[in-house]
Homo-oligomer: A and B are copies of this chain.
Amino acid sequence: MIAEIISTGDEVLTGTVVDANAAWIAGRLYETGIAVGRHVCVGDDMERLTDVLAETGQRADIAVVTGGLGPTVDDITASAAARAAGVELERNNEAMAYMEAFFKRFDRPVSDSDAKQALLPQGATPLLNSVGTAPGFTLKMGGCRFFFLPGVPFEMRQMMADHVIASLEADAARKGTGSFYREKRLSLFGLPEAHVNERLADLTGSLDGVKLGMLAEFPVIHVKLAASGTDCSALEAAVSAAADRVRERVGDYVFSETGQRMEEVVGDLLSRQSATLALAESCTGGMIASRITNVAGSSRYFLCSVVTYSNDAKMRMLGVSAHTLETCGAVCEQTAREMAEGASRMANADYAVSVTGIAGPGGGTAEKPVGTVCIGLCGPEQSFARKYKFPFENRMANKRIFAETAFNLLRKTLNT
Assess whether B305 is in contact with A71, with CB atoms less than 8 Å apart. Answer: no
Asked, given contacts A294-B399, A307-B307, A308-B304, whether A15 binds B26 with beta carbons under 8 Å apart, the answer is yes
Assess whether A113 is in contact with B197, with CB atoms less than 8 Å apart. Answer: yes
A16, A204, A279, A281 — which one has the most chain B CB atoms within 10 A of its CB? A16
A31 to chain B, nearest CB (A): 10
Count residues of A near B (Cβ-Cβ below 8 Å): 95
Task: Point out the residue from B52, B198, B290 that lies within 8 Å of A287, measured CB to CB.
Answer: B290
Assess whether B38 is in contact with A13, with CB atoms less than 8 Å apart. Answer: yes
Assess whether A37 is in contact with B48, with CB atoms less than 8 Å apart. Answer: yes
In the bound assembly, the distance between CA atoms of A288 and B297 in angstroms comes to: 20
Asked, given contacts A37-B42, A286-B293, A346-B317, whether A17 binds B23 with beta carbons under 8 Å apart, the answer is yes
**With a CB–CB cut-off of 8 A, which chain B residues contact A198?**
111-113
Assess whether B23 is in contact with A18, with CB atoms less than 8 Å apart. Answer: yes
Copies of this chain, complex-wide, total 2
Asked, given contacts A13-B26, A27-B16, whether A73 binds B286 with beta carbons under 8 Å apart, the answer is no
| CB pairs A–B below 8 angstroms (19 shown) | A12-B39, A14-B27, A22-B41, A39-B41, A72-B194, A72-B197, A74-B213, A113-B201, A283-B293, A285-B289, A286-B287, A286-B290, A286-B292, A286-B305, A287-B293, A298-B309, A299-B310, A313-B347, A317-B347
Assess whether B310 is in contact with A303, with CB atoms less than 8 Å apart. Answer: yes
A274 to chain B, nearest CB (A): 15
Q: Which residue of B lies closest to A108 (CB)?
A: B391
Task: Point out the residue from B38, B105, B284, B306 that lies within 8 Å of A52, measured CB to CB.
Answer: B38
A10 within 8 A of B: yes
A380 within 8 A of B: no
Assess whether B316 is in contact with A346, with CB atoms less than 8 Å apart. Answer: yes
Q: Chain A interface (Cβ within 8 Å of chain B)?
A: 10-20, 22-28, 30, 36-44, 48, 52, 70-74, 105-106, 108, 111-114, 131, 152, 193-194, 197-198, 201, 204, 213-216, 224, 279, 281, 283-290, 292-294, 296-299, 302-310, 312-313, 316-317, 346-347, 360-362, 391, 394-396, 399
In the bound assembly, the distance between CA atoms of A113 and B399 in angstroms comes to: 27
**With a CB–CB cut-off of 8 A, which chain B residues contact A308?**
304
**With a CB–CB cut-off of 8 A, which chain B residues contact A216?**
152
**With a CB–CB cut-off of 8 A, which chain B residues contact A194?**
71-72, 111, 113-114
**With a CB–CB cut-off of 8 A, which chain B residues contact A106?**
391
Q: Which residue of B lies closest to A26 (CB)?
A: B15
**With a CB–CB cut-off of 8 A, which chain B residues contact A39?**
12-13, 19, 39-41
**With a CB–CB cut-off of 8 A, which chain B residues contact A23?**
12, 15-19
Assess whether A41 is in contact with B42, with CB atoms less than 8 Å apart. Answer: no
Q: Which residue of B lies closest to A403 (CB)?
A: B290
A97 to chain B, nearest CB (A): 19
Assess whether A306 is in contact with B304, with CB atoms less than 8 Å apart. Answer: yes
Q: Which residue of B lies closest to A181 (CB)?
A: B14
**With a CB–CB cut-off of 8 A, which chain B residues contact A40?**
38-41
**With a CB–CB cut-off of 8 A, which chain B residues contact A41?**
22, 38-40
**With a CB–CB cut-off of 8 A, which chain B residues contact A298?**
285, 309
Assess whether A395 is in contact with B294, with CB atoms less than 8 Å apart. Answer: yes
Asked, given contacts A37-B42, A38-B40, A197-B72, whether A17 binds B215 with beta carbons under 8 Å apart, the answer is yes
Q: Which 3 A-B pairs have the closest CB atoms?
A: A285-B293, A286-B289, A286-B286
Task: Point out the residue from B16, B152, B317 that lies within 8 Å of A213, measured CB to CB.
Answer: B16
**With a CB–CB cut-off of 8 A, which chain B residues contact A15?**
22-28, 30, 36
In the bound assembly, the distance between CA atoms of A303 and B313 in angstroms comes to: 7
